Chains A and B, each alone.
Chain A
Amino acid sequence: MIDWLVRPLSYGFMQRGLAASLMVGILCAVVGCYVVLRSMAFLGDALAHAVLPGVALAYLLGGNLLVGALIAALVVALGIGFLSRRGAVKEDTAIGILFAAALSLGVVLISTIRTYAVDLTHILFGNVLGVSSTDLWLIGGLGAVVLATIALLYKEFLVVSFDPVLGATLRLPVAFLRTTLLILLALTIVVSLQTVGVGLVAAMLVTPGATAYLLTRRLFPMMLLAAGVGIVSSVVGLYLSFYLDVASGAAVVLTATAIFLLAFLLAPRRGWVWAGVRRLRAGR
């Protein structure tokens, strides 16, 4: 059993992969709590796809792919804020427009790349086992910035998420805080690309937070629980991927989904099974 657990860690790529998935699992889970509570799942998915032109451009210019992704995500995040400011169009409309535009631009750029680009497929689907130690430092550094910002602005983010009207009466810069949250989301997505890829980032943002939401009714415990779900799914997913030889990002997401389903069925008092039991008892 111990050998079963230790053996994968004798490989350097597995050590780095585990470290990367753990950091991404925690980061996505914590930021994801805001995504769940503010109904930003669509936005998260859109931002993840919107990085594609940035990545393609960076590839064509021979630059760092993550930097390209970061710039693209920030441009789209700010663009959504700009289009939906003062209600010119609704936010989800602005997201839909920019999401599709960025994705199309990415496809156009990629189609100009003749050679088969391994790095590019890694951005699309993630390749946690290809993480270099430079990537690890980048993930750790950006992740620390995001988590520190959330810790420092905890009460401000709480107010603008729960009750923007109170935020305005307290003279908080509501628009500035909302934009800051968007930027943190963009950073999180970019950092996560390496492990779970464009297609699955949204799941890592939403699933742990949604699981925690079923189990607690306070924000801080919700963040801790979500981080726990992120950690467990990262570790379990990575081992599954090692032993079953399946794609690591997908294994992590499926593990998180399994935990969510367990919580959905069995959550104390709120779970589906408990509701069924209550119905049965009431029926008697």
Chain B
Amino acid sequence: MSNSLLEPARLDLDGVSVAYNGAPVLRDVTLQVPHGAQVAVVGPNGAGKSTLFKALVGLLPIQRGRVLIHGRPLRSHQDCVAYVPQREEVDWHFPVSVADVVMMGRYGRLGWVRRPGAADRAVVARCLEQLGIADLAGRPIGELSGGQQQRVFLARALAQEPHILLMDEPFTGVDAATQGAVLQLLEQLEPMGVTVLVSTHDLNLAAARFKQVLLLNRSVVAYGPPQHVLTPAHITVAFGGQALFLGSEAVIVDQCCPPDLPGGQP
């Protein structure tokens, strides 16, 4: 890591467009994320935050443009990208224990047929410890609370020993303890040089806890330090009618889980 200035940016998007079920979602996204940066990805519902993450892990095809990781195109090598899905996307009744789920993070490194060894079990134990859920290792995942489930999936992503970690809404619908655990994890990851992208609805959190913010609405509205990104002008562009200004203060009518309001569409 001594010559990190000479290395290519860890994550480099160049004019990337992504479609979901044939409908274009992201247009012409160009940005560079340096090694070890932590970026909050914010924007209204349907802005393409999840779509961006899914494209980066190869779940959605990239229509135009290119994604470079360590200067090499996506899928040309083990990309070392871990993705923490939103909690609703997982079958919680599946018969696996917490330790089983975290061990799945090792499978990519194990390769075909080989079984996990002592070194893998040590990594799993360390990741469980790091998220404060070591005591739950043997429990079936269906018996966990929402916050605990979130931490299991974070531990699994850690067990992948990723260079780039993508977290989809890790702060949504979890208890304060889990939110604290996630923030603590982000602090631990910083000196390790792990690049992190976190999507969130919480603009205050993004401004307070992240040095870089990416404001998305189908394309990049602004990208950089929060004080340059979260300006009234940018927020108006990104959130449109959902942004409300009182004096110099911006208020976003929260678009997460829209209530039954007419015209509540993003």
Contact = CB atoms under 8 A, between A and B. Distances in A.
Contacts of A37: 94-95
Chain A: interface secondary structure?
A: helix
A136 to B, nearest CB: 29
A222 B95 CA distance: 8
Interface in B176-191: none
B100 A218 contact: yes
A218 B107 contact: no
Given A155-B110, A171-B78, A166 B97 contact: no
A169 B95 contact: no
B85 A218 contact: no
B113 A152 contact: yes
Contacts of B113: 152-153
B58 interface: yes
Contact of A162 (B91, B112, B143): B91
Nearest to B97: A218
B16 to A, nearest CB: 18
A219 B79 CA distance: 29
A217 B100 CA distance: 11
A78 interface: no
Contacts of B110: 155
B108 A158 contact: no
Interface string B89-116: 1110011110011001001101011011
B75 interface: yes
Interface residues of A, number: 23
B185 to A, nearest CB: 19
Contacts of B94: 37, 161-162, 219
B107 A168 contact: no
A213 B110 CA distance: 28
Contacts of A219: 94-96, 100
A218 B75 contact: no
A218 B59 contact: no
Interface in A195-235: 213, 216-219, 222
Interface in A216-256: 216-219, 222
Contacts of A172: 107
A159 interface: yes
Contacts of B78: 171
Given A156-B112, A159-B107, A162-B94, A169 B100 contact: no
B104 A159 contact: yes
B111 to A, nearest CB: 10
A233 to B, nearest CB: 21
Interface string A106-146: 00000000000000000000000000000000000000000
A148 to B, nearest CB: 11
B29 interface: no
B113 to A, nearest CB: 5
Contacts of A218: 95-97, 100, 140
Given A163-B90, A168-B59, A169-B81, 20 more contacts: A37-B95, A152-B113, A153-B112, A153-B113, A158-B104, A159-B104, A162-B101, A166-B83, A166-B104, A169-B57, A169-B58, A171-B75, A216-B95, A217-B95, A217-B97, A218-B96, A218-B140, A219-B94, A219-B96, A222-B95
29 contacts: A37-B94, A37-B95, A153-B112, A153-B113, A155-B104, A156-B107, A158-B96, A158-B100, A158-B104, A159-B104, A162-B104, A165-B59, A165-B85, A166-B83, A166-B104, A168-B57, A168-B59, A169-B82, A171-B58, A171-B78, A172-B107, A213-B95, A217-B140, A217-B142, A218-B96, A218-B100, A219-B96, A219-B100, A222-B95
Interface of A: 37, 152-153, 155-156, 158-159, 161-163, 165-166, 168-172, 213, 216-219, 222
Q: Please provide the 6 A-B residue pairs with the shortest distance between their CB atoms, ordered closest to farther.
A: A217-B140, A170-B108, A169-B57, A217-B95, A162-B94, A169-B83
